[in-house]
Amino acid sequence: MLFFVIFVKVYLLMIFTLIVFIFVLAVLVLAHEFGHFIVARKNGIKVEEFGFGFPPRLFGVRRGDTLYSLNLIPLGGFVKIKGEDGENAVDSDSFSAKKIWQRVLVLSAGVIMNFVLAAVLLGAGFIIGLPQSVEDAGRGAKISNPKIEIMAVLPGAPAQSAGLSLGDEIVSVDGRVMSDLADLQNYVDTNQGKSLNFVLRRNNEIFGKEITPVEIKESGRGGIGVALMNIGTISYPWYLAVPKGFAAAGYFGVEVLRAFGGLFKDLIVGAPSVTENLAGPVGIAVLTGKAAKLGIGYLLQFMAMLSVNLAILNILPIPALDGGRILFLIIEKLRGRPVGRRLENAFHTTGFALLMLLVLAVTAKDVSHLKGFFFSIWQKLF
């Protein structure tokens, strides 16, 4: 009976994660493709097909010049723009026949739409409430559910030995309910060397730990070796939430650019663990499921971050992506004539193949990191 219960729980968790991941991916990709679609139409370019999902096609409905199709593989969507590969250059409604600035605008529209989507998601989150540091709350903020949460655990510290981890909430110490970070730090500091009874919450489960504070070299005070933060659910009136959503999307964009800069630096210097900071489809699916389990606020923030990542990745001058195609348009503007079609196609094809190899490598890394998770499930089953 226990075997059956555990099996059902694991199965339902996997199905839940898969459904949420497909939904999130569909929203992000469809928003990106809708950007290309609407800007192409506004510039008089024919869009031959707007596909929901990827082929094989299940059915389609034609409206005007565009076929709106529903496809079997529910992983986002695509748009097929007339002349996007250089053909039909003499037709006025072809992508190839348009001015360079118009083509750049069409290619950039997906990136812009992903930023707009991130801002909308964060704006909606600020209306209903997002988990944030209480110190970051601005004018007009409403704070609810304040708590002290562990943001990092020092290696070799008492907290690590006790099994504490990132995201754990400290509920009380020696029966004292702790809602103020300074009070908690002072209490632990003054009781250095004494065994303290910590009550914590992890994934809505309460548990206790006996931990003895020691002097922490980094701070010079007594502690258990954790970085703490006052977290609360912060919401704003809609007229403040909307601009804050755009500001937060911009902040995410800066942080993602910094992360990509660090990644490319590691690639240049040949860092052996460069893929450790990357997540493939498997890793992203697992993280999506975890965010969804934490609540709608966490899921909205995670979707916004993914949308910004998708935007930044696509605008970089990487072959086969929007940024790579824009690069060739810039070269065309500088040369006064386009690059040879065969050379450009070879460039994008090679780039796409390298991207797929990177995805496979990162996916293999994700799966290897999940071995412990699956092994623990296997032990529970048998």
pLDDT of residue 45: 93
pLDDT of residue 116: 96
Q: How many CB atoms lie within 10 A of CB 320?
A: 17
Which span out of 96-110, 179-193, 205-219 was modeled with the highest average pLDDT?
96-110
Stretch 208-233: mean pLDDT, rounded?
86
Closest CA to 196 of 206, 181, 211, 183: 211
What is the C-alpha separation between 48 and 156, in angstroms, rounded?
60
Position 378 pLDDT exceeds 50: no
In the chain the domains, ranked by start, together with CATH numbers, are 142-235 (2.30.42.10)
pLDDT of residue 377: 43
The more confident residue out of 304 and 19 is: 304
Position 189 pLDDT exceeds 70: yes
Position 328 pLDDT exceeds 80: yes
pLDDT of residue 148: 87
Q: How many CB atoms lie within 10 A of CB 257?
A: 13
Position 274 pLDDT exceeds 60: no
What is the C-alpha separation between 207 and 168, in angstroms, rounded?
10
Position 288 pLDDT exceeds 80: no
The more confident residue out of 53 and 263 is: 53
Q: Which residues contact 283 (CB under 8 A, 6 or more apart)?
A: 362, 363, 365, 366, 369
The answer to whether 149 is a known catalytic residue is no
Stretch 32-59: mean pLDDT, rounded?
92
What is the C-alpha separation between 238 and 142, in angstroms, rounded?
12
Q: Which of 73-87, 157-171, 354-368 is predicted least confidently? A: 354-368
Query: What digits encode the pLDDT tens for the residues 80-132?
Result: 999 887 777 788 899 988 999 999 999 999 999 999 999 999 999 999 988 88
What residues are paired with 221 via a beta bridge?
216
Residues of the chain with pLDDT > 70, as a percent, come to 86
Amino acid letter at 156? G
Q: Is the pTM of this model over 0.75?
A: yes
Closest CA to 222 of 193, 251, 259, 262: 193
What is the C-alpha separation between 215 and 224, in angstroms, rounded?
8
Please pick, among 33, 84, 149, 344, the residue that the annotation labels catalytic. Answer: 33
Q: Which residues of 193-224 are buried (b: 16+ CB within 10 A; e: fewer)?
A: eeebebbbeeeeeeeebebebeebeeeeebbb
Query: What digits encode the pLDDT tens for the residues 306-323?
Result: 999 889 988 988 888 899
What is the C-alpha separation between 92 and 98, in angstroms, rounded?
7
| Structure tokens given for 24 | 């999130």
The more confident residue out of 65 and 372 is: 65
What is the C-alpha separation between 164 and 350, in angstroms, rounded?
46
What residues are paired with 222 via a beta bridge?
215
